[in-house]
Amino acid sequence: MNSENLVKMANQISLFFEGQAGPDAPAGVAEHLRKFWDPRMRTAIIAHAHAGGAGLRESAARAVALLEAPAP
């Protein structure tokens, strides 16, 4: 899966959580990505974020940063 598709999916997930959780959206997005994305997908979106994160919504970018932290 290429980074363009991963960005699109992460942004769609973040839009949902922004509507549901407001300012807590990044935590919800990160939890969703941990639960439902394949580890290779998570690794790829983290690498994309490290390369500048082009196209990621703010809440999606913050969620990806949370993926690098140990799960609570």
In the chain, the N- to C-terminal Cα span, in Å, equals 28
According to the model, what pLDDT value does residue 15 have? 96
Tell whether the model's pLDDT for residue 71 goes beyond 70.
Answer: no
**59 and 26 in contact (C-beta within 8 Å)?**
yes
Give the pLDDT band (50/70/90) at residue 72. low
Domain for residue 22, yes or no? yes
Report CA-CA distances (Å) from 47 to 13, 16, 29, 60. Answer: 18, 23, 17, 14
**26 part of a folded domain:** yes
Domain coverage including residue 39: 3-67
| Distant-in-sequence, close-in-space partners of 6: CB < 8 Å, separation ≥ 6 | 41, 44, 45, 48
How would residue 69 be classed by pLDDT, with cut points 50, 70 and 90? confident
Please state the pTM of the whole predicted model: 0.90
Average pLDDT, integer, range 58-64: 97
Count of structural domains, the chain: 1
Inside any domain, residue 72 = no
